Amino acid sequence: MRRKIYVETSVISYLTARPSKNVIEADHQQSTYIFWDRRSEFDVVVSELVVTECGAGDASAANKRLDALSAIPLLDITARSVELAKGLVAAGIVPARASEDALHISIATVHFVDYLLTWNFRHIANPEIQARIAEHFQQQGLLLPFICTHDELLGDENG
């Protein structure tokens, strides 16, 4: 059975950005390219939120991001996912200024994805926040998807 992976906006941004001269960003880009080449091994999904975020900003860059999403199935933003995201903010687990990050996590959770793939270490791939979210969701009978980077997902197979 193929694993379902929710791809968060930062992934698409790294995929379509100009090659970075920053060593860390260049490494993230390379890992993203490798994953993207192997995406057919997984059931890759995004949400309407990813599409909205990818469509913002510079028109040329937005078009590249949206083109990358063209064949990726969309998950709906459900009332339950909005409710869960608001709960994460209300509980002080995710700051209000990062409510979209809470919504990405909640969308992935209500749609039972296996992995949430991201380069956002501040509010999504943050182990302390993940532990608090997992506990908060567990109290509601929900299982938090495994949140990881490309390197963690692919391991030694990453190039």
pTM attached to this predicted model: 0.93
Per-residue pLDDT of the chain (159 residues; tens, 9 = 90+): 899 999 999 999 999 999 999 999 999 999 999 999 999 999 999 999 999 999 999 999 999 999 999 999 999 999 999 999 999 999 999 999 999 999 999 999 999 999 999 999 999 999 999 999 999 999 999 999 999 998 899 886 555
Between CA 87 and CA 49 the distance in angstroms is 18
Residue whose pair of structure tokens reads 């380069």 in the numeric block: 119
Q: Residue 1: what pLDDT?
A: 80
C-alpha closest to that of 35 among 69, 62, 11 = 11
Where are the strands (E) in 62-157, listed by range? 74-75, 115-117, 146-148
Between CA 50 and CA 77 the distance in angstroms is 10
Q: What is the CATH number of the domain that holds 92?
A: 3.40.50.1010
Q: Could you give the dihedral angle defined by the CA atoms of residues 109, 73, 149 and 99, in that order, rounded to the nearest 10 degrees?
A: -50
Between CA 62 and CA 53 the distance in angstroms is 9
Residue whose pair of structure tokens reads 């509010």 in the numeric block: 123
Q: Residue 79: what pLDDT?
A: 98
Number of domains the chain is built from = 1
Q: Residue 157: what pLDDT?
A: 59
Q: Residue 4: what pLDDT?
A: 98
Q: Residue 150: what pLDDT?
A: 87
The answer to whether residues 133 and 105 touch, using CB atoms and an 8 Å cutoff, is yes
**CA 31, 123, 30 angle in degrees (round to 5)?**
10
Q: Residue 155: what pLDDT?
A: 82
- The β-bridge partners of 45 are 6
Q: Residue 35 belongs to what domain range?
A: 4-157
